[in-house]
Structure 1
Amino acid sequence: MAKYLLLKHYRGAPAPVNDICMDQWTPQEISDHVQFMNDFAARLEKTGEFVEGLALAPEGTWVRYDGEGRPPVTDGPFAETKDLIAGWMVIDVDTYERALELAGELSAAPGAGGKPIHEWLELRPLLTAHPTVTE
């Protein structure tokens, strides 16, 4: 088994791209979208492939160490940036091909009018062992 991160990107947010502009969706369309993701996770819990996942608020703060003891803080990322990271899910699957299959399925979550939103998902393997240097 290998663990993968499915990072949910709303590319081009907040402008609608493939009907991903949730502020224009009806309350029922938003509920249907969230239900799809909850059902997806529940199904993967039954197969043992779901590890965890969360939605993210659009607000954020950039922080980095400045060498002086007090890290500089910058507002952002902002929802009006090109990409908005909306949430993430960790899966534990037997093969990379299975991870691709599940990412493709999750990308088809419903949006406006119940149509698949073709959401961009970043698929990344989780590092399970520390890299070693050999001479």
Structure 2
Amino acid sequence: MKYMMMMHTPSGGPYQIASWPQKDLQAHIAFMKRFHQKLSASGELVGAEGLAGPEQARLVRAGQDGKPVTDGVFPETKEFLAGYWIVDVESPERAYELAAEASAAPGPGGAPLNLTIEVREVMSAPPTKDLV
């Protein structure tokens, strides 16, 4: 079963990790690299990416003429999506275990961040009961 684990982080202007002390930033990145290696070695990792901060985000929709219409930046947001992993695991409980581990990534002073990780199953096909 595939799950997407989405890491949300508090907002407050530009991505706050950039203002952390160098040693804390390095510890956080080292944790993320170890987590990535662990998931790769176990065969559970499908893909993972970090995302740019909300100051670079835009919402896009098609205008009346089909051309893109953009809206943004949204500095008033309380949280933003910082990155994600797609994992292929045996059960939802395993996805929850991995999400909890990612949530505890170290922050300033080495304290666990305990960030919210949204876990959602990746659908391989639309539900058949909705098709007529």
TM norm structure 2: 0.87
Matches of 1:9 and 1:120, distance apart in 2: 5
> Unpaired runs of 5+ in structure 1?
none
> Unpaired runs of 5+ in structure 2?
none
Within the candidate set 64, 68, 72, 1:67 is matched to: 64
Alignment coverage as a number of residue pairs: 128
Q: Report the CA distance shift for 1:91/1:77 in structure 2 as closer, same or farther (over 3 A).
A: farther
Matches of 2:131 and 2:71, distance apart in 1: 39
Cα deviations by residue, 1:94-120 (Å, 9 ceiling, x for unpaired)? 000000011001100000111101011
Alpha-carbon contact 1:62-1:77 (below 8 Å) kept: no
Aligned to 2:12: 14
- For the aligned residue pairs, the C-alpha RMSD in angstroms reads 1.9
Q: Residue 35 of structure 1: SS of its match in structure 2? A: helix
Matches of 1:6 and 1:101, distance apart in 2: 11
Percentage of pairs with the same residue: 35
Within the candidate set 46, 61, 77, 1:81 is matched to: 77
Alignment of 1:36-55 (within 5 A): 36-55=31-50
- Determine whether 1:116 maps to 2:115: no
Larger proportion of helix = 2
Within the candidate set 108, 124, 130, 1:128 is matched to: 124
Superposition deviation, residue 28 in structure 1: 1.3
